[in-house]
Structure 1
Amino acid sequence: FYVPTNHVCMDYEPYKVSYTAGQPYVGATVSMYPAPGGDGNMGNFIAWDAAKGEIVWSKPEQFSVWSGALATAGDVIFYGTLEGYIKAVDEKGKELYKFKTPSGIIGNVTPFEHNGKQYIA
């Protein structure tokens, strides 16, 4: 199965903060940064083999991957990034397509049909 992941270090200070549209809201002052000695990325999109309990492949992403994953019967998997890309990869992790949206993606990629034509949103 396919998993969007976070790999971040964090300084977390509980604090009364106000909600600001477009910003992560966790009810605290939070500083997130890449792990020391790592590759500088804070997220990965991975394929996980549940039978073996191991990662099959991993696509590093600059920021945490907060979107969901959509796997299709055609072996194409979609996910979104905080940089605002919807990405399509094959079952081996090869990037097939990416589309830049105006905002970071934290929701699920959703398939739909309109007038007999299929879409991904």
Structure 2
Amino acid sequence: MGTLMVAFSTAAFSNLLFPAVSLLSVGDIVFVITNMQVENLFSSCRSTVITLYNGAVDSSSALFLVIKLLREAGVSLRSSFLFMSACSVIHLLRTFFLLPRDHIPYPLPEDYTYG
């Protein structure tokens, strides 16, 4: 929602920017907490998976530098944020449809199957 609000904000609808930025800042941590149980599938490198998730969220602010550079190169801000919205939808669908309904246990039982 935050990326869509930024994409469709204009000078006339600048009041969309405050809730958009709030949604962007809160949205990342929700995905991290929701997907943190994936680490339990990788018993030998759990800390690496956690580090990759946290690093991806922490480095997401660098994406705005890329958007700034693309804007200077002629790509519209709206198309950049619509692309980000499409990527967020893919991640959201992956979270809802590929994660198990229950918590992934640790340590994994011998008979545990995923998928």
What's the TM-score, normalizing by structure 1? 0.22
Q: Identify the structure with the greater helix proportion.
A: 2
Instruction: Tell which has more relative contact order, 1 or 2 (C-alpha 8 A, sep 6+).
Output: 2
Q: Identify the structure with the greater strand proportion.
A: 1
